[in-house]
Chains A and B, each alone.
Chain A
């Protein structure tokens, strides 16, 4: 099962490489991503039934948490490939990229999907390898346009994330050292399934050190402040569908790494140390996002800083702990993935139409693109956590968890920050959407592919705000049980 899921994007990527025309490459890409989505769903169902699947001599495995990540990756991946068809097609029509680049884009896109799926299903702590691979592939996606700013962003992204990931490797080595003492030198000594069973016997000092390195390492990749500096550059300079994947999915993959280690580490040294670290990093990320969101001039960077904020919220949720905190954090990962991709797609529409990333130069989107404009307003409300949208539910759960676990100061600060972010964010969105469009901007919406992609996501944004389906609820509860 897992093998097929991994094979699907690889095959799609290879097939994309051998296509000749735009039509072919788009058909292959969309079909491939549909297959990936279906296989992802099938995996989720499988895990739902069997709890844990292990294959390939224990190298690959899937439990509820992996399946959850696979679900996010395949849904957003599918939607992003739909959106790519419209977006990259537009770029191709306007001769911004040639056929070779377009093909390259799709090949890399599906390789990127593959690496992210791999993060979810690796049994080994060698998860590190998969996360580093996501960096490598996405850096190449970022330099698709050879603009100065995108080359700069790619370089920063590559360097900072590789350094971060090197720290994570050190943490992994330390964990292995701790586990070898108990398990002996087997290849199994890094497998989740074996680690979890004996994690309570690990040397707490070494595990503390390991966790700090892991948190800094994967935290860099997850965009936790103060290691977030690469994130706004990278997410704003990448092609829009890739921005959606980076913000919506890749950050979650890194967060997944942190949470996995947190689960093991807390078994060794108790919850207090780890949860305090997560709360501090989480609050710092949310707090740092505030001024940058208030004073932002570039709407893609605005969204990128909002990602920093939301990753902070996830960290905070895990840090608060308890069933509610973790439930909220996991749910928030999903909700943020959907809403942020949705917002990036909206921003991509605006970028194609108005051809600028500056907030000041964009106005009257509702008039020039009625559908996109409306969606931007909905998305803007949703991403800042207003009811009745999905993010409100998860943020509220985390906040409730914070108060009930007695983290009063942290919770109050959290509330304060998100109120400020709400005000700032919505101010920018309203400046863009209302008013009259600048002269020379033709009215009329973008292609159906792109609106279709957004329509799929808006279902999640709205429906999950008012009603969480029972099977989904049960699935998240399973994830919570894995994490606790």
Chain B
């Protein structure tokens, strides 16, 4: 019981600690690719620390939703973090929820931020909120479908079990549906973390911003929580990619050496994914909003193909 408690606490600490680092690394890699010097990789920590010291400026017209939204979304994402395997494949909390719960926890977080963006009554907020919900309506089904192909193979939607099973299969796990689902989820990851070509995290240009537009009204401590929540979500989506599709090296039993190794492997995987995302960001241009459904339908179709090829390969 106590060890399980420790596992959970450790997981929370890792998520909280690594999330800003990942953001920093992606920014640094981007800067490097664009021949800039860029801020150091620890800059996000400083930013959050600074924001936490500041007071919030809040519009007079907002209701309780505006105040509650950052906390709710933060907690929702953190709860998802307890279900997604990060450094160990048998999560103590895995009984509490599976893939579908993760998708809905992310949706909950998104929903409250979007609600808060409408609450303040500024025009940008509403625009950002509506765009965000538009994208999420495409992202959520695709995300579920993409992992379903793998879930079908293992026979459960429980992420811990999936991760452990794929890990124990070794190289045998690599198969057409594995690959197709990975490509599909990768596209989803781009959309889910608000990166180019779906959204640009570094812009405040009113025509293009989505996530930034939603949180425009936040400042100080509340902004820090929202930002940290977004970073955590990014880390979690990446670890979903890493630990569902390449879970090799993840610890399944509790031992200090195993966990240390697993943690190092995890960090390497996350950084590699981050670097790839940074490369995608630098090499593509942001798409027009109305072209986004195309990208997300490609992802949806690839997930679908993954399911079909699962049936073809397995059912022969």
Contact between chain A and chain B defined by CB under 8 Å: no
A-side interface residues toward B, CB under 8 Å? none
